[in-house]
Amino acid sequence: DQQVKQNSPSLSVQEGRISILNCDYTNSMFDYFLWYKKYPAEGPTFLISISSIKDKNEDGRFTVFLNKSAKHLSLHIVPSQPGDSAVYFCAASAWGSQGNLIFGKGTKLSVKP
Amino acid sequence: EAQVTQNPRYLITVTGKKLTVTCSQNMNHEYMSWYRQDPGLGLRQIYYSMNVEVTDKGDVPEGYKVSRKEKRNFPLILESPSPNQTSLYFCASSLFRGGNEKLFFGSGTQLSVL
């Protein structure tokens, strides 16, 4: 059973507009969430994270929102730039899980000029 | 430069021929892990290591072995590769356990088993 779900395999956005990537989870024990970005032929790189004690974390153009009651988080990119075109993975972990980070399947974002 | 280095980047082999994918990090990280990425399945953890001589299974450990004799190295061993192990493999490390620590990933190894 998939514990971290990214239901949109792809998303296309116009440059300058907002990109919203969504992620749902089923395990109520998850207490830390991360977003990774992956370009072709490269490994994933850490983008932003949020602890379950918060509902929002912001870093420049990137903001992650966490809705614990809905078991849902989202990544907002404002404004979107062509260089943001990549695959974005949502990941989650539970304290005491011995380091097992559970990843979603990823969403491919295309930002068109 | 802080990095996780995997070798080789590309590997084509035949069924049953033992192979090793190397992984090395220069950040003095305690935690290291191997993932495989398959189309439609995302990243799945194979094995991880909390420190030297401490390893444990991830979600998809069958057909793989690992060792952690030194802090910086965490090789992935396929004793008898099979076609279903054709995949893109990533090694990753973090300072401590990988839960709420951000992971640093290598550039990946594309393995094809014929």
Residues of B in contact with A98 (CB under 8 A): 48, 50, 56, 97, 99
A21-72 tens-digit pLDDT: 999 999 998 989 999 999 998 999 999 999 999 999 999 999 999 999 999 9
User: Rounded to whole angstroms, how far apart are CA atoms B28 and B31?
Assistant: 9
A20 burial type by CB count under 10 A (0-12 exposed, 13-18 middle, 19+ buried): middle
- pLDDT of chain B along its 114 residues, tens only? 889 999 999 999 999 999 999 999 999 999 999 999 998 888 999 999 989 999 999 989 999 999 999 999 999 999 999 999 999 999 999 887 655 678 899 999 999 999
CB proximity A40 to B under 8 Å = no
Mapped onto helix, strand or coil, the DSSP state of residue A14 is strand
Is the model more confident about A93 or about B26? B26
pLDDT at A111 over 60: yes
User: Rounded to whole angstroms, how far apart are CA atoms A77 and A61?
Assistant: 5
Residues of B in contact with A34 (CB under 8 A): 102
Mean pLDDT, rounded, for A75-89 = 97
Closest Cα in chain B, distance from residue A68 (Å): 17
User: Rounded to whole angstroms, how far apart are CA atoms A102 and B73?
Assistant: 23
Question: What residue type is assigned to position A22 of the chain?
Answer: N
Buried b (16+ CB within 10 A) or exposed e, A52-63: beeeeeeeeebb
Question: What residue type is assigned to position A90 of the chain?
Answer: C
The residue of chain A with its CA nearest to that of B95 is A99
Mapped onto helix, strand or coil, the DSSP state of residue A84 is helix
Mapped onto helix, strand or coil, the DSSP state of residue B85 is helix
Beta-carbon neighbour count of residue B7 at 10 Å?
15
Average pLDDT, chain A: 93
User: Does A105 contact B58 at a Cβ distance shorter than 8 Å?
Assistant: no
Q: What is the pLDDT of residue A2?
A: 80
Q: Cβ(A106)–Cβ(A7) under 8 Å?
A: no
B58-82 tens-digit pLDDT: 989 999 999 999 999 999 999 999 9
